[in-house]
Amino acid sequence: MDTKMSMDNLLRAICEKQNPTVAGLDPKLDYVPQYIKDKAFNKYGETLKGAAKAILEFNKCLIDALHEVVPAIKPQAAYYEMYGTAGMKTLYKTQEYARSRGMYVITDGKRNDIGTTMEAYAAAHLGKVKVGNEEYEPFMGDALTVNGYLGSDGINPLIKVCKENDKGI
């Protein structure tokens, strides 16, 4: 699979694997096996960073076990955001790892806003951010869940970025 995956690639992967399942990664620390938590906490302490490292290790184990039969993952952003910057780094690293294993990544962010704020969400989760002469992909999602309650004012900025970057909502 390509590094940049379109919805067509997701559909192709579903057909190849004969499986429409998307694995939701909603990492509650209580769900992480104790031996993984112990290893992370021994190295980083019982801190936000320690929790995030344990979650990342668990996510990698899940992805390794699933990637041959499940075409996509859907990490729920709130579960990563609650661990601060360490959690957000874990979200990024989880997305990056899943992509490296050929999986389609749907960021479950349920974003809902209008105007420039939604443009910022679109750039962060589906597009690129320009810094100087370079462009960076802040998160490695192929698609983003959104709440369309605010109508076209909230959806149009996403559609524009999706078209430019071959992403989905």
Residue 74, C-beta contacts closer than 8 angstroms, at least 6 positions apart: 22, 23, 24, 25, 105, 106, 107, 108, 145
| Distance (Å, whole) CA 125 – CA 137 | 8
Secondary structure in 3-state letters for 11-69: HHHHHHHCCCCEEEECCCHHHCCHHHHHHHHHHHCCCHHHHHHHHHHHHHHHHHHHCCC
Is 39 annotated as catalytic?
A: no
Out of 4, 43, 110, 130, the active site residue is 110
Distance CA 32, CA 78 (A): 17
Number of H helices, E strands in the chain: 7, 6
As annotated, the active-site residues are 110
